[in-house]
């Protein structure tokens, strides 16, 4: 009888130990400072997309929630963004017409990772995330200096109804045919306006030729919606329709693998030069110097 009781006690102790230590311990308690959490943060419901109240605990191994600021006018502070386990690019990443602007928190063996819900007491501030500049957008983004903040408790981009952020295609990409073309946006109460879906769409390829005057290009720039005007490897012949005129630059250019033209000079139609090659070269050089100075 005594052995039976002892066996039950030992068995119960082992079960309790397995549940509360090591990989079998799956329950992750979330910070007891509920007032701050409930006022600033919520998590995105995977089905409805609604922002719900952060639960008191996660109860399953590798259970995750996507934590975000409750107010659309807010984003994570610089202090949160700079924590070692935070991937800033995922906060800033484009998602449809807006940005992800959330952090995925996972329960692993009783520990929340990243530990923002257990080690921090403030998370959000009024403002916007940085605009994404990864290969999914190919954007070159320039912020007016007063819009940016490095203060720990501030958002990286401050709201401002006057100052706009410049968004263009970075070198090696081109505006897509038939797509959105806004090249400025402002950080507002509802996020960026125009939203990310309305900003310029940039794709790999070469831009339309920076030609001037009566220069014609063969083949002409493509018009396929969503594609660049010219693709890598395209060879374009430049010419002047007017008799007695010639192109001021090379008459054949190529869209390189770097997604740039092999000759970046602006071609013009200039009077054709006759005479020796040396004379022609000297005249063409003079014309190019004149064009550059006027430009």
pLDDT > 90 fraction of the chain, expressed in percent and rounded:
52
What is the percent of the chain with per-residue pLDDT over 70, rounded to a whole number?
83
- How far is Cα 224 from Cα 214, in angstroms, rounded to an integer? 24
Contact 68, 101 (CB under 8 A): yes
Q: Residue 21's pLDDT band (boundaries 50, 70, 90)?
A: very low
Query: Whole-angstrom Cα distance, residue 195 to residue 199?
Result: 7
Q: Which residues pair with 106 in a beta bridge?
A: 64, 113
Residue among 121, 231, 95 nearest 176 (CA): 231
Quote the longest CA-to-CA distance of the chain: 120
**Which tens digit of pLDDT belongs to each residue from 225-265?**
888 999 989 999 999 988 889 998 888 999 998 888 998 88
pLDDT tens sequence across 69-100: 999 999 999 999 999 899 999 999 999 999 99
Contact 9, 39 (CB under 8 A): no
First to last CA, the chain: 102
Q: What is the pLDDT of residues 139-175, one digit of tens each?
A: 999 999 999 999 999 999 999 999 999 999 988 889 9
Handedness of CA 63, 69, 72, 74 (dihedral sign): negative
Q: Distance between CA atoms of 36 and 292, rounded to whole angstroms?
A: 61
In angstroms, rounded to a whole number, what is the distance separating the alpha carbons of residues 252 and 215?
12
Tell me the whole-structure pTM to 2 decimals: 0.74
Tell me how far apart the alpha carbons of residues 77 and 229 are, in angstroms, rounded to a whole number: 40
Kindly report, residue by residue over 102-131, the tens digit of the pLDDT: 999 999 888 999 999 988 999 999 999 999
Phi and psi (nearest 5°) for 239? Answer: -155, 170
Average pLDDT over residues 135-140: 92
Residue 223, pLDDT above cutoff 70: yes
Contact criterion met (CB below 8 Å) for 114 and 85: yes
SS3 call for 258 = coil
């Amino acid at each position: 009888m005594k052995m039976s009781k002892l066996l039950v006690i030992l068995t119960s102790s082992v079960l309790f130990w397995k549940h509360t230590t090591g990989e079998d311990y799956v329950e992750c308690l979330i910070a007891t400072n509920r007032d701050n959490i409930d006022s600033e943060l919520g998590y995105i419901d995977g089905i409805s997309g609604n922002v719900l109240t952060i639960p008191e605990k996660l109860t399953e191994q590798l259970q995750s929630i996507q934590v975000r600021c409750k107010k659309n006018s807010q984003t994570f502070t610089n202090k949160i963004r700079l924590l070692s386990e935070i991937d800033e690019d995922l906060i800033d990443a484009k998602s449809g017409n807006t940005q992800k602007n959330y952090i995925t928190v996972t329960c692993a063996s009783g520990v929340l990772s990243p530990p923002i819900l257990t080690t921090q007491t403030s998370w959000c501030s009024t403002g916007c995330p940085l605009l994404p500049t990864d290969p999914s957008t190919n954007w070159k983004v320039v912020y007016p200096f007063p819009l940016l903040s490095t203060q720990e408790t501030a958002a990286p981009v401050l709201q401002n109804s006057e100052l706009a952020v410049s968004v263009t295609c970075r070198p090696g990409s081109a505006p897509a045919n038939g797509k959105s073309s806004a090249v400025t946006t402002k950080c507002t109460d509802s996020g960026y306006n125009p939203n990310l879906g309305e900003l310029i769409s940039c794709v790999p390829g070469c831009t339309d030729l920076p030609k001037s005057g009566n220069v014609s290009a063969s083949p002409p720039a493509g018009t396929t919606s969503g594609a660049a005007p010219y693709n890598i490897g395209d060879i374009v012949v430049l010419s002047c329709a007017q008799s007695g005129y010639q192109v001021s630059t090379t008459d054949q250019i190529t869209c390189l693998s770097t997604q740039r033209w092999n000759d970046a000079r602006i071609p013009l139609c200039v009077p054709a030069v006759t005479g020796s090659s040396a004379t022609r070269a000297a005249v063409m050089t003079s014309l190019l110097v004149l064009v550059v100075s006027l430009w």
